[in-house]
Chain A
Amino acid sequence: MLILRDYIISAASSINAGGGNNGDNPTNLGVSDFSLVATTLDTNNAYKFMSGIEGMDRFGTGPVRSAYFMLSSTELQSDFDGLVGSGFISQWNYPTNSSALPSEYGSVFNIRILTSSEAPVARGASANGNDVYYNTVSGKQGLTHINQDGYSMNLIYRDPYYSGMLAQNATLAVKFAQAQALTQDTAVRNLLCTRLSNLGV
């Protein structure tokens, strides 16, 4: 999803968050926004990425629904924390972390949230001039990589002597040809939102 970031925010349709209460457009994220996006993808017969996690007899944990993935900015993490008790389950409250990804922050309803500092943000672009975060939500059949017509992967190595007597430069690289494709536009949505919490930075 990170590789496809600019592609998704340009080419996929969007939903403005309206479940928050900061009075902006889009608003900050409310749990109803997660529900709306998941319902939209469900109605469009999108496939979920992850199966649910059954509840276990462990303190502080709760079951997790089968889910789509959503890529979000790390700057939204405090907003997610603010939804604890309203539907957000932190990753460490999963019954088991065996299927959780390292970048997974938690889940709300049918959406499991991955966070990255490289997730897309349009600075100062909301109706009230605040930052707009693009949370890209995808079903399994929404996106793909295509390895292009027989172009094989090359591992390139040039030893240090190649560049000069001082042997300062060596090259180690991988070269391959790939294209991205939106394979099903009904299975991808950008959930746009602003932020409620002040980052204080």
Chain B
Amino acid sequence: MQRIPAASVTIVQEEELTRFVCSGAWVISQIDNAAWELERYRPGSAVLFETGGIGAIDSAGIALLQLSVRTFETHGFPAAITGESEEHAKLRDLLYPAPLESSPPQTPPSWLYTIGRTFHRGLEEIGAFLSFLGEAFTLLLLLLRHPAKIRWRSIGAHILATGAQALPIIAVSSFLIGIVVAYQSIVQLQKFGADIFIVDTIGISLSRELAPLITAIVVAGRSGSAFTAQIGTMKITQEIDAMRTMGFDPFTFLVWPRVAALMIVMPLLIFFADIVGIFGGMVIASVYSQISYAEFLHRLHDALALKHYLIGLAKGPFFAFLIAMVSLHRGFQVKANTESIGRYTTISVVNAIFLVIACDALFSVLLTELKL
């Protein structure tokens, strides 16, 4: 087959007929020049393809001839093919048993429809999440009536995975946040000679706002995504269906242990982030403003009212609840194709972080109004 030259078309213009003399190998790898030539050609009369000189032909070659004939005919010029070899004719009959139908792609819907549909979907998603929460709480009441059914071991395992094993990353993140805040504030405070107020800045901003927020974001990225992927995988492998048929309720076995574990662990992680973050600030204060550690701690004792610290810790369970519930809900939404795990994991992390920030804003307004 290699010895046959590439497909070519010689155009012979006669009075009332244009003859295309075809030769060479009309196979997919050698057909492109002929294809472009035919694509560009605009005939002025009837067309005849003389295919006697074609050395080899495959489905691409036949498709090109048939397509050209159809194109010329739609331009209003009759076209025909002569001189087909036996092999050629057989292949054509196989490939074109009937005129090829093609279905036009669907036209994209109007922008108004798209906006409406997106909005409606958003509402449906909220509804689905609320019904998920409803089901979870109904089953929680049932679970609390039979406390023996509580999966303590599972709770323990999730405390280990979402809490203890998250300590290193939380230490690093909150230490760096402590450094960043201290560094930025100290430059401003030094202008007024008010270096010592770095202690107030660090103490209050970290323990009340930044430590809970950073911890929640790390947990959402780390444990929230893991929850979605775990449940999603179980959904795809039909483990969830298997559990349901055996009467193992997924809320008792999968949802509440994770939610409870995260709600227990979150305030502890925030407490840990407080310590490490403030330590980060302390290091910066001693390096840039010669505030010794002892001085810093003494000042912290006066500056940091207990309420700031407690408010920070109190946010923990709320954030944990939102992160766990939204990521588990997304996990249960995973469909039976592997692509959707990745999609829902991404959505779950985005949702969790958004909810955490929205909840934090709500706390901020509420607590300020309450003069706390």
Do A and B associate with each other?
no
Binding site for B on A (CB under 8 A): none
Binding site for A on B (CB under 8 A): none
